[in-house]
A and B are shown apart, each in its own frame.
Chain A
């Protein structure tokens, strides 16, 4: 079931939650709405579900305008951040709820309801807990039940509002992969909201980056990550080092240091620019490998599991540079605090204009 969102606008006193959003989601697609908190992504999801109303614009589900339908007529499955399970009902009754409240003309028979609920609970691997109450389940288990409950009514669209953010890191990752697999099996058109770029990159077919009620960029995860449209997107998709400077001869002048930047070549001469580079894109070595290398001193070493974080101080920049190198390299180089190293910054991206998160 495709979703067509046209010129959707929602204003609250004091700020604009959604500013003329137009978005199309293909049938069977899994789309991530990614943005910082307060950017309007949850509002968008709630308007699609009919839990909130838009000031203007329309939501079209499979060629039917559903903008003004109440939530219960939209046939949309909604999964909440904090599960919102019915505490007084057991797992079976929670999942069966959407079927039981149907008018008697379209309500399935008791045995059909039982079959469907059992099937769904098997699908979310919760069939062992059929008689349990929500309070007896862990967060991850509750969210699975919530998902089964949302799927029970055969929704045209599945909407997930930060479904994993209340869970701890390990469970979150596990559930993320499991959801991706589930989606590959049942192919229900889905939109999920997240502020976690890793989650969006790993899970989605397509990422829609939203900031201040506007879509900044949309595309496949790899595409958005490799070719961010602007400074905001680049910054939001991971850790960055930012250097403020000026564009000169297709390079960026930061302090006294000219940094080679392929992307800066098309930029107007002498415009203000910011050079971005991700910590893991920075090369660190004991010997100078090119004339653009900077000399720096290791001020801090952080053990971060598989990666090693380095805080590097250079004469050229007033801010320390954050770099991340694999553990093996760190071991081979035998780096320690206070050592002098050479820093390669050849993968810098440059954007002009204001940027602010």
Chain B
């Protein structure tokens, strides 16, 4: 292959330098660290690898991580939608403050969030003392994990939906109404299909974030083996025991899950856009 030497001049200068920088940066930050996990996993004895990732305790942690993440993502789909809708569609005093608050879970150190939840839901906490009487257990239970995951995933849904909602003209709804559609029909047939790709992106992002969340969960989960141990915690535990191979095999499976999520998301978006663009 001849060296890349274009006689077409770019209008923007500095392509070579910025491209080189981008490739280097991506390699150093993303590709190389991830490659060590993959290579580490492949270097392992396949049988040891299988044994590690299918051991009952690890399997239980995957199940817990996946199920709580799915549940939290679905909750966020609903409440994030409501919040985005309210923030875009209505004008009320304090709207800007509320809008700024949405980003808080992004900005807050997850350990801070974890300690907040642990205090709030502990048997003597503000909410915990009442919940204990009703018999609902949040702390040291999967439901607590879900609460923490909802918290950290919430901004993703709101922030991906907001711009799409803003660009949706009120005329679209008005024309549906004047054609005889009820509010529900307008929502179901016009608004939802329109917002679906953005909603899907938001939910997937919040799901992916929830799968890997560590900091806020360990404070509230109690970390009981087979019950409330999440997958990232398994990695931590194995590292504590100097079981580097074991840790990277658990990590490798998590990496696979995240990666396939991204692929599915991309595929769905492509398919969605093909139909109307």
Residues of A within 8 A of B (CB): 49-51, 70-78, 80, 82, 84, 86-88, 90, 97-98, 100-102, 133, 135, 146, 149-150, 152-153
Residues of B within 8 A of A (CB): 169, 171-172, 174-182, 185, 189-190, 193-194, 275-277
Residue of B nearest to A106 (CB): B180
Bound: A90/B276 CA distance, A: 8
A137 to chain B, nearest CB (A): 12
Q: Please judge, given known A-B contacts A86-B190, A101-B182, whether A71 and B177 are in contact too, CB under 8 Å.
A: yes
Bound: A49/B185 CA distance, A: 19
Q: Is the CB of A51 within 8 A of B179?
A: no
Q: Is the CB of A97 within 8 A of B177?
A: no
Q: Is the CB of A97 within 8 A of B178?
A: no
- The number of residue pairs between A and B whose CB atoms lie closer than 8 Å in the complex comes to 74
A238 to chain B, nearest CB (A): 31
10 more CB-based (< 8 A) A-B contacts, given A72-B182, A80-B171, A88-B193: A50-B178, A72-B177, A84-B169, A84-B171, A84-B172, A86-B190, A97-B179, A98-B179, A98-B181, A101-B181
Q: Is the CB of A101 within 8 A of B178?
A: no
Q: Is the CB of B171 within 8 A of A88?
A: no
Bound: A75/B175 CA distance, A: 12
Q: Please judge, given known A-B contacts A51-B174, A77-B178, whether A87 and B194 are in contact too, CB under 8 Å.
A: yes
Q: Please judge, given known A-B contacts A84-B169, A84-B171, whether A70 and B177 are in contact too, CB under 8 Å.
A: yes
Q: Please judge, given known A-B contacts A84-B172, A97-B189, A101-B185, whether A76 and B276 are in contact too, CB under 8 Å.
A: no
Q: Is the CB of A97 within 8 A of B181?
A: yes
A87 to chain B, nearest CB (A): 6
Q: Is the CB of B178 within 8 A of A74?
A: yes
| Contacting residues, chain B, for A76 (C-beta < 8 A) | 178
Highest count of chain B CB atoms <10 Å: which of A76, A88, A150, A153: A88
| Contacting residues, chain B, for A102 (C-beta < 8 A) | 180
Residue of A nearest to B196 (CB): A88
Q: Which 8 A-B pairs have the closest CB atoms?
A: A98-B179, A84-B171, A101-B181, A71-B177, A88-B193, A84-B175, A78-B178, A133-B276
Q: Is the CB of B180 within 8 A of A75?
A: yes
Q: Is the CB of B276 within 8 A of A88?
A: yes
Bound: A72/B177 CA distance, A: 5
Bound: A100/B176 CA distance, A: 11
Q: Is the CB of B180 within 8 A of A87?
A: no
Bound: A149/B177 CA distance, A: 13
A151 to chain B, nearest CB (A): 11
Q: Please judge, given known A-B contacts A84-B172, A88-B193, whether A51 and B178 are in contact too, CB under 8 Å.
A: yes
Bound: A50/B277 CA distance, A: 32
